[in-house]
Amino acid sequence: MNSLSANLALEPLGAGDLIDRAVRLYRRHFTTLIRIAAPPVLVSAVGSMIFTISVRELGKTSDELSILLYVLLLIAGFVIIVCGALFSLIVMGGATRNLVAHLLWDEPVAFRTTYRAVKSRFWGLFGASVVVALWLMLSASVGSVAFTIIWFVILFAAIFGAQISPWITTLIFVVATMVAITLALILFFLLAGRMAYVPQAMLVEGHTVGAAIGRSFSLATGNIRRLMAMTLFTFFATYSALALLIVPLGIIGWIYGAEITYFGSQWPTWYTVGYQVIVQCSHILLAPIWMLGLSLLYVDERVRHEGYDIELMAARQLPEMPTLPGVVSPFAPALVTGRAPKFVAPPPQPLHTGTVLGLR
């Protein structure tokens, strides 16, 4: 067993360690992880291009039949984008199971293994992904409401400060805006983080959808800082990659005289399609880091709360825990699997008569 898989995530990880482990795994399995992450992103890419082109053409046509066609295409594009996002959540669960199997038995991180795990629980994962998406929308709404309330408080404070000095108004506005954004993000991640481990609980521990949601809520305590760090790192890395890839396209557009505006309303069709392709390419490149980060965060939460490192080491050496009638373990198994040797009950022993020790 190689040293990386033997020691991966077997101790509590801070935010920096979590990102470092994710990047190391990403570099080690780059090609495989790109193949795993690509199908959901490609689905979203198709939907994004259909949606973008439909929006552009709706403003240019006056024919009623064409308007109806582009409205239908716009709706179809939106639906495909949503399906791609749900597909990404589903694949994340399969990737986590593959990663834990890599930890236990040094199994390779493979495209086929990940999607076989996805296929085994596809409809359950689909339902869980819908619930997670709705929860994320609710979390975003709560964060937006909190930001709006704080913003109104800022507005009244700025009006009061304007009567004293414009410099005080500017200072209040800048500081309070940063505070409002920070508090809104904390509130969002406090709620959204509760659903971070639903796909993992289903495929690693074998829970149903309802049980997996409860399991995720119980595990997700104290993960706000690391979840925010992973999100911010992935966000800035994605848009840094996008900036690097978009420069050549902008140069080509400038050479051919394309009018490049910020909102893209005057972009030629070829530039719009090229821009969407580059956006999705940047997502394909960085999606595995987010996928690995959540997988490692799940393992880390179990290490912190349940001694998962000891359980992983035991699972490497011992067969699967047998299922005994009438006995329910309070702990989830290291990995629900059928690969361990089956438990064979011992032959029945004759009943002793006499004393408890069998002595006459």
The string of pLDDT tens digits covering residues 35-69 is 888 888 888 888 888 888 888 777 777 777 888 88
Q: How confident is the model at residue 173 (pLDDT cuts 50, 70, 90)?
A: confident
Structure confidence at residue 320 as a pLDDT band (50, 70, 90): low
Percent of the chain whose pLDDT exceeds 90: 1
**pLDDT score, position 162:** 63
Lowest mean pLDDT among 86-90, 210-214, 280-284, 350-354: 350-354
2-27 residue pLDDT tens: 444 444 445 667 777 778 888 888 88
Q: Are 292 and 28 in contact (CB under 8 A)?
A: no
Tokens of 177: 């805006």
Q: In the chain, what are the domain boundaries?
A: 3-315
Residues 6+ apart with CB under 8 A from 61: 67, 70
Local confidence band at 343 (pLDDT 50, 70, 90 cut-offs) = very low
Residue 349 has pLDDT above 50, yes or no: no
Average pLDDT over residues 269-276: 76
Q: How far apart are CA 116 and CA 121, in angstroms?
A: 9
Q: Which residue has the higher pLDDT, 323 or 25?
A: 25
Quote the pTM value.
0.71
CA angle 122, 293, 296 (to 5 degrees): 85
Q: How far apart are the first and last CA of the chain?
A: 54
Cα–Cα distance for residue pair 103/109, rounded to 1 Å: 10
Length of the chain: 360
At residue 106, what is the residue type? D
Q: Mean pLDDT over residues 123-130, rounded?
A: 88
Backbone φ/ψ region at 326: left (φ over 0), alpha (ψ -120 to 50), beta: left
- Residue 47 CA to residue 26 CA, distance in Å, equals 27
Q: Are 129 and 199 in contact (CB under 8 A)?
A: yes
C-beta separation of 213 from 189 below 8 A: no
- Does 203 have pLDDT greater than 60? yes
Q: Count CB atoms within 10 A of the CB of residue 328.
A: 6
pLDDT value of position 5: 43
What gap in Å lies between CA 197 and CA 308, rounded to an integer? 15
**Two tokens, residue 234:** 């992935």
| Res. 348 pLDDT band, cuts 50 70 90 | very low
Separation between Cα atoms, residue 13 and residue 11, nearest integer Å: 6
% the chain with pLDDT above 70? 74
Confidence at residue 353, expressed as pLDDT on a 0 to 100 scale: 45
Identify the residue with better confidence: 267 or 330. 267
